[in-house]
Amino acid sequence: MGIGKTLSNLLSEKNSNPNELAERIGVSKSTIYSIIKRDNMKVDITVLAKICTALNVKMEVFYDEYVSEVKNNIKDIKRQQLINNYDCLNDKGKQKLFDLSNDMVSSGNYIDKKLKEKHA
């Protein structure tokens, strides 16, 4: 979800509309409508700061989902690299990697507690 969709949702939650917001922050109505319609991650920072002040929200509200998506993409890339590395190994190397991963999990020192609870 881009900034426009988030802004549209916030306006609905606060029983406001683009025209009212534009007037409150001193920008043209077309600026607000354009942000909503484009729904991308590029908005003039001064306009976004004014929007945040007017709606009483932190700027992070507009970027949380994007940052989370980027982090997930990085995790997926690392996971794929691990699989690619495994596929490049001979049988002895694959067994060693398998044993090492089992040792890491069984030691408990490398377990992601949130994931462990999820799969328990």
**Does 118 score more than 70 pLDDT?**
no
Q: How far is CA 13 from CA 3, 91, 101, in A?
A: 15, 57, 47
Confidence of residue 25 (pLDDT cuts 50, 70, 90): very high
What's the pLDDT score for residue 117? 64
Tell me which of 1 and 77 has the higher pLDDT.
77
10-22 tens-digit pLDDT: 999 999 999 999 9
Is residue 25 within 8 A of residue 61, CB to CB? The reply is: no
Burial class (CB in 10 A: 0-12, 13-18, 19+), 56: exposed
pTM comes to 0.60
Please give the mean pLDDT across all residues of the chain. Answer: 91
The structural domains of the chain, ordered by start, are 3-62 (1.10.260.40), 65-119 (no CATH)
pLDDT at residue 120 in the model: 54
pLDDT tens, residue by residue, 39-83: 888 899 999 999 999 999 999 999 887 788 888 899 999 999 999
Integer Cα distance of 34 and 26 in angstroms: 15
